[in-house]
Amino acid sequence: MNVRDFKNKIYAELAGITKALANPHRLEIIELLAQGPCPVEYIVDNTSLTVANASQHLQTLKSARLVTSKRRGKYSYYSLASIKVFEVWNAMRDLGFSQNAEIEKLLKEFRESHHNLESVTCSQLLERIQQGKSLLLDVRPRKEYKSGHIASALSIPQDELIEKLKELPRNKEIVAYCRGPLCAMADNAVEMLINHGYKAVRLESGFPEWKSKGLPVEQ
């Protein structure tokens, strides 16, 4: 094989990966699978996709070796093929944040609609946890919490929060987190907490970003 043939084949394989990623629904599926393994039915419940569409997108990702599946009883559970898939997705998102003015505008408008709620970085959160200054709240669905969560986090899904407010201490800052910066669950939770007199902030990223940094997690 000469050098030209070698390069053509390598770039064609790489292009196949980027082609699999070049779809908004598949990007959303990757974000969801970064929370933990799940069946196609769970993806349908958490996106705007039908079972047929979700299955088709999953097969495209699987063909590109970005996703794997494993049978559990009558369901097939899908997972990211490795942490590198999330890291590439995360790098693409960060590139979009820094280079695309429309994305920057959308993010600004969204944050302003949520009153520019205060957020903390992963390193700031780790310091607050170590100092015992903050209570960490995972507001994702409980299934995702069970698949993996930040160490010491308490699970109260967003849709249960209003019923369980009395269980939370008022003398501690509450840090809420969810799936990541494109997820609104933590924003909604923080807004609710503040409206009920709690001091609350959100983690600016989410569980997958925390995990990818090698920070403490539990399952």
Averaged confidence pLDDT in the chain: 94
The predicted structure's pLDDT at residue 113: 79
Q: Domain with 20 in it: what CATH number?
A: 1.10.10.10
Is residue 192 in some structural domain?
A: yes
Q: Are residues 119 and 201 in the same domain?
A: yes
Q: Are residues 133 and 75 in the same domain?
A: no
Maximum CA extent, the chain: 70
Q: Are residues 122 and 78 in the same domain?
A: no
Backbone angles phi, psi at 156, to 5 degrees: -140, 100
Is residue 36 in some structural domain?
A: yes
Q: What is the pLDDT of residues 107-153, one digit of tens each?
A: 888 878 777 789 999 999 999 988 988 999 999 999 999 999 999 99
Global pTM reads 0.90
Is residue 212 in some structural domain?
A: yes
Is residue 107 in some structural domain?
A: no
Q: Are residues 57 and 130 in the same domain?
A: no
Does residue 219 surpass a pLDDT of 90?
A: no
Is residue 99 in some structural domain?
A: no
Q: What is the pLDDT of residues 37-46, one digit of tens each?
A: 999 999 999 9
The CA-based angle 42-147-84, given to 5 degrees, is 90
More confident residue, 117 or 62: 62
Q: Are residues 28 and 71 in the same domain?
A: yes
Q: Are residues 119 and 214 in the same domain?
A: yes
- DSSP label at residue 99: H
Q: What is the pLDDT of residues 154-197, one digit of tens each?
A: 999 999 999 999 999 999 999 999 999 999 999 999 999 999 99
3-state SS class at 90: helix
Q: Are residues 126 and 198 in the same domain?
A: yes
Angle formed by the axes of helices 51-63 and 24-33, to 10°? 80
Is residue 108 in some structural domain?
A: no
Q: Which residue among 68, 85, 102 closes a domain?
A: 85
The total domain count for the chain is 2
Catalytic annotation, residues: 178
Q: Are residues 128 and 211 in the same domain?
A: yes
Provide the token pair at 180.
């990541």
Is residue 101 in some structural domain?
A: no
Q: Are residues 34 and 127 in the same domain?
A: no
Q: Are residues 73 and 140 in the same domain?
A: no
Q: Are residues 15 and 55 in the same domain?
A: yes
Is residue 92 in some structural domain?
A: no
The domain of 45 spans 3-85
Q: Domain with 179 in it: what CATH number?
A: 3.40.250.10
Q: Are residues 68 and 127 in the same domain?
A: no
Provide the token pair at 163.
């019923």
